[in-house]
Amino acid sequence: MIRFALALPLVLGLSFCAGDTTPVASEQTSPNGTPYRLIQMRGNEYAAIFAAWPSDWGWRSGHNPVAAYVGADLILAGGAEGYPAGDVVERFADMDGEGRLFATSDHLYGRVVSRKQDFDEAITIANAHLTRPSLDADWFDRIRTGLAQNMSEARSQPSHQGFDALRWAVMGDHPLRALLSLDDRAQFDALTLEDVRNWHSGTVIAQPEAVIVIGDLSPDRAGAALDRLLAGLPAGQPGTRDMTLDYRPRQILLHLPNATEAHLAFIAPLPATRHGGDLEDLLLTTALGASEDSVLFAAVRDGLRASYSFDAGVGNYTRENRFLVMTGALDATKLAEAVDVVHSAYAGFREAGPEGQIEDLVAPYRAAFEQNQDYVVDQGGMELETTLDGFAAGHSLSMVAMSDALTTASLRDRLQGHWPQAQDFVILAVSPEADALPGACVIAKAEDAKDC
């Protein structure tokens, strides 16, 4: 349920790629008046449209949060007028393309991609499902049941329960916590097709917050395709999305007597990506805890010999609420000592910055950003994120130049000016021993963390 801010893109095979010229980005408006950004990729044989619809579904009480996830899958899988349920996957596969929707805390993301010669048909299929979804009852039951089973399996894992407790600690009783955790089985049982219809009608509207059209397309063709995709959708406006998080530094221990190992997580806020700095954060978390050469791996695994690994990453509950997390599984008898070791390792890293040559740290990401410029899915997805953050058109195309401009000093400035200090973290431990972390607020279930 956590969306990571900027991950190293993974390119699988050669799908959705062809072309070797530099893409060009521009601001455009469709004939029907919808603003969008066009990235023209000369010679590329694929085309795609990305959209992000704002959603306040999980922010308001009285809504079943499961509807957003089930609905995102059901719109495409559940058929539409002229398209039997389950048909869309094969139809897109025949075009070497895909249609996809997925829900986050504050948006519904969608994309449609195909070979350029099939793009008109792909748009027709996507529009039918967006505007007139059948929401087939059998597929509804299949998707709901599958998601409920997946979440039940996840909740059985101590580490998952630990992150549930963290959300209770930081978010409290805010309705959005339920959408991110999906920890109430009764909500799956209570979900109805009417819930999904209400979510769909209020979310999939004619005015996405951001739209990217990408491929070897003229502005005329791109704008016409966008208007056809959105044709027939209702007007709408999301409500206010507001939340105050509680990041007071404290230590919490979730006591699970049957757990076979302990888990430890540190979490503290970071600035939202709209303020910039996410490329620096990506490199810094890599050096801090993303490999066997990282600072945390050396401190906890090699130094303390208390865990298999200890990782660092950046996540966010919403676009505005972003955080740094350090986490790992470890020997319960060394839990308290591990807290001190992680604190010390992080404090040293924040002060000194990453070791070694910055070129070695940057190289794999720079190569990926450069390669993305041949791939409509990767480049389009990055441009959508930077558009939502309010950056200028084509900002995603500047990642190579931004990578080249990074210096050891700029990384150190980012650490010391914007990263939390060592004492600023909420610490959550999961342990079979209730006394494994002296001084911690000990709880027996995740929900109790809101009172710590």
- Of 431, 436, 425, which Cα lies nearest the Cα of 254? 431
What pTM was computed for the model? 0.93
Residues of the chain with pLDDT under 50: 1-15, 19
What pLDDT does 21 receive? 74
Question: Which residues of the chain are in CATH 3.30.830.10 domains?
Answer: 24-230, 250-451
Q: How far apart are CA 109 and CA 55, in angstroms?
A: 10
Q: How far apart are CA 428 and CA 160, in angstroms?
A: 12
- Class of domain 250-451 as given by CATH: alpha beta
Q: How far apart are CA 201 and CA 234, in angstroms?
A: 8
- pLDDT digit string (tens) for 72-82? 999 999 999 99
- Of 3, 4, 2, 18, which Cα lies nearest the Cα of 379? 18
What pLDDT does 240 receive? 75
- pLDDT digit string (tens) for 220-242? 999 999 999 999 999 988 777 88
Residues whose CB falls within 8 Å of the CB of residue 134, separated by 6 or more in sequence, listed in order: 78, 79, 80, 81, 83, 85
Question: 20 in helix, strand or coil?
Answer: coil
Tell me the CATH number for domain 24-230.
3.30.830.10
Q: How far apart are CA 281 and CA 418, in angstroms?
A: 10
